A and B are shown apart, each in its own frame.
Chain A
Amino acid sequence: MKTLILGLGNPILGDDSAGLKVAEIIRRRMTLDPSIEVSEDYAGGLRLMERMIGYDQVIIVDAICTGIWPAGSVLCLNPDDVPTQHTASTHDVNLPTALQLAATLNLKMPKRIRIIAIEAENVLDFSEHCSPAVTLALSHAAEAVLAELQ
C-alpha cells in the first residue's frame, strides 16, 4: 500500500510547525517500511489535494486551533470531522471541497485519509520553537501517526 505521511506547517511560526517537527521525528527515529514516504508541505485545500494524488493512504499531521482542547492535545480526525477547516496559508478552497473536486474530476485519490492534529497554543508569533505544551506532545503525535498506519 503506497503511503504518505505528510507533516504540514510553517517552520518559523511557533506551534504551526508542529506537523513538520512530527514528520522529522518519524523520519529520524523510526524504522518504516520502504513503501511509506515521509514528507513535509505547507499547503491546504487544492495544493494538499494535488499533493496526495497517487497514494493509497495519507496521514496528515498538522496543528489545529479549536480553542476547545488544551494545548498539546492530540486528535485523530477524518477529513470530514473538520468540515470547515480553512487551512489559511493557502490561497485556496478548504480540504473537503478540494477532495470533492478530486472525486468529480476522477483523480486518483487515497482511499484513506487521516489527520493527526495537535492543538496549538501560539500561531501568531514568529519563532522556530513550539510552546512547551506542544513540544511535549510531538512524540505522542508521532506514535499516533504510526498507530494509524494500515
Chain B
Amino acid sequence: MQRITIDPITRLEGHGKIEIFLDPEGEVAETYFQIPELRGFERFCVGRPVEEMPILTNRICGVCPEAHHMAAAKAADAVYHVDPPPAAKKLRELLYSAFYVTDHATHFYALGGPDFIMGPNAPVAERNILGVIHKVGLEIGGKVIQARKCGHAVVEMIGGRKVHPCTAIPGGLTKGITEEQRQEIEQMGRWAIDFAQFSLKLFDDIVLKNSDYLDMILDDAFTHRTYYMGMVDEFNHVNFYDGQISIVAPDGERIGKYVPREYPDWIAERVEPWTYLKFPYLKKIGWKGLVDGKDSGVYCATPLSRLNAADGMATPLAQEEYERFYVTFLQGESDQYTTTWQGKVVHHHLATHWARLIELLYAAERWVQLATDPEITSDKFRAIPTEKPTEGVGIVEAPRGTLTHHYWTDERGILTRVNLIVGTTNNYARMSMSIKKAAQKLIHGGTIVTEGLLNQIEMAFRAYDPCFGCATHSLPGQMPLEVSIRDANGTVVECLSQYVK
C-alpha cells in the first residue's frame, strides 16, 4: 500500500496532518486527517468562578476570541438564571456582527479566496493576499485593512479591548456606548456594507462568470449530502448571536430545532482509535461512520450549513443575495420555493465561499441595524443576578460553526465541570469525508501527484475555514508540506514537497 502525507496543510492554522493510503493499483484506499489536541482546558477551569469564563475561554483561541467571549457570557447568564436587558443583548450582537465582518473578510481575501481568485493551479507563492492584490488591484488591499480596522475599533469600543474583549459578564455588560461612539460605529458599518457588496461583485466577476470555477463548485468531488446545522431567529432567519439551532436533513426537511440547554439530546460524540479529536454527530440519527446520506448522523456547521438550515436572511440586501444563491444552484427547481425557502438545500461544498460573503453582507447590515437602534445607547446594560448559580449552556454561531459552552457550578458559582463543542469540531467528520472524496477523484493509478492536485484536496477542506490552532501561536522553524509516497513495504518511493528548506 502506498502512503501520501500532507503535513501540515498550508495556510491552515494549527498542525493538521493528512495521510492518504493508496492501494497497490495506486487508487485511494483510505484517508486520515489527524489533529493534535490542546489538553487540559477543563481541568484548568474547574475551581474558578464562572464569571471568569468569558475572559478565560477567549484565550483558548486567538482566531475567534469574540465567539468564545459571547458563548461563555451566554452560558454564564444561564448558570445565574439571569436575562440580560435588551440593550446588553444588542450591544453584544453589535460587537459580534463587527467581528464577523473582520473574520469573514480575512478568510475570503487572505485564506480561502486566493484559491479561487488566483486559481487552484497557480503557484503556492501567488495564492495569497499579495497575489489577490496583484490580480484585482492595489485598492483591494487597502479595503481589507480598512475592514479589519473598523471591526477591531467596534470590538474595542464595546468589548473594552481590541483583542480579547472583556466586558461581557453574567447579566449583560460592564459598560455601554456613548452617542458619539454610536455615530462612529454606524458610519463604519455603512462602509462595511459597501465593502461586502464590493466583495460579492468580485466573487461574481471572478468566480461565477468563470465556467471552469463554476464546474469545480458543482463537481461531485466537492459535494456531500449531509445534515446541516445553524442558528435561526423566530422567523427562521440566520442569526449569529441568539436563537434556536435548526437541523435540516439532506433532502431539505427541517427535522427540528433545539434551544441551547437541549443540545445533549441532539449531539453525541464518537471516539475513533486513530485520532484524539472526537467526532460530534446527530444523536437522533446515529453514527454510521464517515458517510453521507439521510441515515448518517454526520452534519455540517459552516456558512453554507447556516444558509441551508435557515429559510432566509434577516436583512434586505443579504436576503436578495440568499435568493440569488439558491436560484443559481437549484436552477429550474427553485420555482417551487417562491413563497418560502424552507426545504431547499445546496450540497456543493465549495459554494461555502459564496455563502460566507452573503453572511459578510448580513453581518454588515446587522451592524448598521443595531447601531441605529434607539436602545443601543441605553444605560441599562446589566441585570444583576439574584438566583443561585447552577448549570447553564450558551451557544453562538462562530464563523467556523456552532459553538457550545456548557458549565456546571456549585452554589457559590465555582466551576465543577466544563464542556465545550467548538466550531470546527462539528465539521470533523465531514471534513474527513471531503478529503477522501477529493483524493479519490483526483488521485488515480496513472496520475502524477502535482502540487495543484494536492492543493485541490486542501481546498476541499479550507472551505470549512477550519482552525485547530486554538491557542498556540509559537513560531515554528518551518512549515513544510511534505508528501511521501510509500510502497506496500512502507519504503518511500517518491517525495514531493513545498515550503521545505
Contacts and interface: CB of A to CB of B under 8 A. Distances in A.
Interface residues of A, number: 48
B453 interface: no
Main secondary structure, interface of B, reads loop
Contacts of B467: 91
A120 interface: yes
Interface string A41-77: 1111011001000000000001111111000000000
Interface string B470-490: 111111111110000000000
A42 B477 contact: no
Contact of B56 (A12, A82, A84, A85): A12
A87 B473 contact: yes
Contact of A126 (B41, B64, B111, B164): B41
B474 A120 contact: yes
A44 B129 CA distance: 15
Interface stretch (B32-40, B330-338, B444-452): B32-40
Contacts of B130: 97, 100-101, 104
Contacts of B13: 86, 88-92
Given A89-B469, A91-B111, A97 B477 contact: no
Contacts of B129: 93, 97, 101
Interface stretch (B142-150, B207-215, B314-322, B374-382): B142-150
A84 to B, nearest CB: 4
A99 B475 CA distance: 16
Contacts of A63: 474-475
B36 A124 contact: yes
A91 B103 contact: yes
Interface residues of B, number: 51
B163 A93 contact: no
Interface in B137-185: 138, 141-142, 145, 148-149, 152, 163-164
Interface string B97-123: 000000100110011000000000000
A90 B472 contact: no
Given A91-B467, A93-B129, A104-B133, A124 B39 contact: yes
A11 interface: yes
Interface string B35-57: 01111110110000000000010
Interface in A95-124: 97, 100-101, 104-105, 107, 115, 117, 120, 123-124
B389 interface: no
Interface in A12-40: 12-13, 15-16
B198 interface: no
Given A88-B14, A91-B106, A91-B107, A64 B64 contact: no
Interface string B486-500: 000000000000010
Given A84-B479, A88-B15, A101-B129, A50 B111 contact: no
A7 interface: no
Given A82-B475, A90-B62, A13 B469 contact: no
Contacts of B37: 124
Interface of B: 11, 13-15, 36-41, 43-44, 56, 59, 61-64, 103, 106-107, 110-111, 128-130, 133, 138, 141-142, 145, 148-149, 152, 163-164, 465, 467, 469-480, 499
